[in-house]
Structure 1
Amino acid sequence: MTTRDLVLIALFAAIIVFLGIIPPITLGFIPVPITAQSMGVMLAGCIIGARRGALAYLLVILMVAIGLPVLSGGRGGLAILAGPTAGFIIGWVVGTFVTGLVAEKLVRESQTGVRQLTGFFIASVIGGIGVVYLLGIAWLAFVTGLGIEKAVLGSLAFIPGDLLKAGIASLAARAIIVGYPLLPQRA
């Protein structure tokens, strides 16, 4: 791991924490809020890659575990990592890694802009939505006793916003690949 890798990991951990400043939107029918921090999964995976992106989220989770209020709404502490949202939080790490892997396979500098955008969007949907939802919904159903069917139905309300986040992350990643072509050389 190089100094550059450490700087990028810390930078993206800071970006993820910054996304937590945006207040969460709570829905009455499911104990999981809508947050901007989930977009960090897509941004980190697409921009700095699988390994560095996942490490950035692990750093954020470490900050949460020691009690720093870095999650949306000023939340932090070990209780968060055992509550109904914990599956989504752990899913952020795995989802970032998968997003990065898919982006690394699908996107090349030599491609057209549309192909790059499409690759980043597909990566964001697979890792940032699919993987995060898989782990988050399973944990939510287990902890709350809702059952998988109700947890899935409750989570459907998040899909439109997460697709919008995937689009924003794709545009940002495309802008980065054009403006800073050395960054995609992922570790």
Structure 2
Amino acid sequence: MINKQGATRLSVREVTMVATMIAIIIVLGMFPGIPLGFIPVPIVLQNMGVMIAGELLGPKQGSLAVWLFLILVALGLPLLSGGRGGIATMIGPTGGYIVAWVLVPLLIGISLKGVSRHRQPNWVIEYLIVWLFGVLFVDGLGAVWVSAQSHMTMVESLTSSLTFIPGDTIKAVISVILVRRLRRALSYF
């Protein structure tokens, strides 16, 4: 919806979807992260919520949901896995992963719109898009950041980050399965 000044306004349904997505990301953060010991970044479930945001809400509302979530975290609310929050958390070793989260809904949403102009993309295409941006992009940017933040070489950081790929791949599969079912269910309303 566009008002007289040309600004875009969200409908009640869109606001509800964005708020629900923020709540889902928060709930996924209630599961404690699993520390690995050899890399200062735990395994978490919240990145699955970021993937879902891009798939289900698209580039604009998905990005809005993640931005609003991260603003709450920056303000100090302990919404990240393990009850962490604040600016220090966002610029520490996990910062690269968090920075990547900002772009994931945009990249997934734009890519899905590009391949599915008139219909839902097939399962494999959707999965590859989610895996590319929700797993490979996040883990790659996160590894670069970890290398800069800690005293690990780039090779050590990238090698350590490979540990996340299998679990994140499973999260991408779950994300695609959930979103495809949710799209069908939401089309009835």
Do they superpose with TM above 0.5?
A: yes
Candidates 138, 144, 147, aligned match of 1:138: 144
Distance (whole Å) between structure 2 residues aligned to residue 87 and residue 182 of structure 1: 38
Question: Which residue of the partner structure matches residue 58 of structure 1?
Answer: 67
Q: Note if contact 1:108-1:116 (Cα within 8 Å) is conserved in structure 2.
A: no
Q: For residue 45 of structure 1, what is the aligned residue in structure 2?
A: 54
When residues 159 and 132 of structure 1 are mapped into structure 2, their CA distance, relative to the original with a 3 A threshold, is same
Q: Determine what percentage of the aligned residue pairs are the same residue.
A: 38
Q: For 1:16 and 1:136, how far apart are their aligned partners in 2?
A: 19
Length, aligned pairs only: 180
Gaps of 5+ in 2: 1-8
- Structure 1 residue 106 displacement after superposition: 2.7
Query: Against the structure 1 CA distance between its residues 29 and 145, is the aligned structure 2 distance closer, same or farther, given a 3 Å change threshold?
Result: same
| Structure 1 residue 105, shift from structure 2 partner | 2.2
What displacement does 1:178 show?
A: 1.7
Structure 1 stretch displaced more, 101-110 or 2-11: 101-110
**TM-score, length basis structure 2:** 0.88
Q: Which has the larger radius of gyration?
A: 2
Which of the residues 179, 182, 185 maps onto 2:185? 179
Q: More strand per residue: 1 or 2?
A: 1
Aligned-residue offset at 1:128: 0.4
Report the alpha carbon displacement of residue 84 of structure 1 after superposing the two structures with TM: 0.3
Unaligned runs of 5+ in 1: none
Q: CA deviation at 1:177?
A: 2.1
Other-structure match for 2:28: 19
Alignment partners' CA distance in 1, 2:175 and 2:99: 20
Which residue is 1:162 aligned to? 168
RMSD over equivalenced CA pairs, Å = 1.8
| Corresponding residue of 2:82 | 73
Is the 2:139–2:165 contact (alpha carbons within 8 Å) kept by the matching residues of 1?
Answer: no
